[in-house]
């Protein structure tokens, strides 16, 4: 749930979605210290969260490899502890977000008519990558 939805669900009245967003943001800002305090009371401190985040970055799983004999009966060949890539990817994504390593969710460009255009993250990343490659090509000396 985002700030706009929380304000709407709390019963606030507003003229537009951005007004709901402003109300929700103000409420979330006011409540943040109480939420942090309650999380600490429950044992969900910054240290605990940091520790769990690190554990998730090094997640492993037990893979079991099966076989069948001549009669068709299944049996376990062996099991092996392996890196759990899916949870590691999710934890790495979360760690990068917390460290502020991602570009903003949207970038605003103003055209001549003063209308705003929003560019999604994945498209922005592709545009920035293409721009970087083009810049590298342009900076290479001509032979």
Q: What is the pLDDT of residues 48-92, one digit of tens each?
A: 888 888 899 999 999 998 888 888 888 888 889 999 999 999 988
> How far is residue 85's CA from residue 102's CA, in Å, rounded to a whole number?
20
54/98 same-domain check: yes
142/110 same-domain check: yes
pLDDT at 108 over 90: no
- 67: Cβ–Cβ under 8 A, 6 or more apart, which residues? 74, 75, 76, 77
49/95 same-domain check: yes
49/14 same-domain check: no
- More confident: 23 or 119: 23
34/73 same-domain check: no
38/52 same-domain check: no
In 69-131, beta strands by DSSP E: 74-83, 107-110, 116-119
36/59 same-domain check: no
The number of folded domains in the chain is 3
In the chain, beta strands by DSSP E: 60-68, 74-83, 107-110, 116-119
pLDDT at 102 over 70: yes
pLDDT at position 143: 52
pLDDT at position 60: 93
88: containing domain: 45-102
Structure tokens at 36: 């942090």
73/36 same-domain check: no
96/62 same-domain check: yes
25/56 same-domain check: no
Q: Supply φ then ψ for residue 13, to 5 degrees.
A: -110, 135
């Amino acid at each position: 749930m985002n700030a706009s939805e929380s304000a709407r669900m709390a019963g606030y009245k507003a003229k537009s979605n951005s007004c709901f967003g402003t109300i929700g943001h103000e409420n979330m800002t006011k409540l943040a210290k109480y939420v942090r305090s309650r999380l600490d009371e429950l044992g969900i401190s910054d240290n605990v969260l940091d520790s769990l985040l690190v554990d998730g970055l090094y997640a492993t799983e037990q893979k079991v490899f099966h076989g069948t004999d001549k009669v068709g009966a299944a049996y376990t060949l062996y099991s092996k502890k392996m890196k759990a890539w899916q949870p590691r990817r999710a934890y790495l994504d979360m760690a990068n977000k917390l460290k502020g390593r991602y570009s903003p969710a949207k970038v605003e460009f103003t055209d001549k008519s003063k209308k705003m255009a929003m560019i999604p993250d994945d498209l922005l990343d592709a545009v920035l990558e293409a721009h970087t490659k083009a810049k590298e090509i342009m900076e290479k000396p001509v032979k």
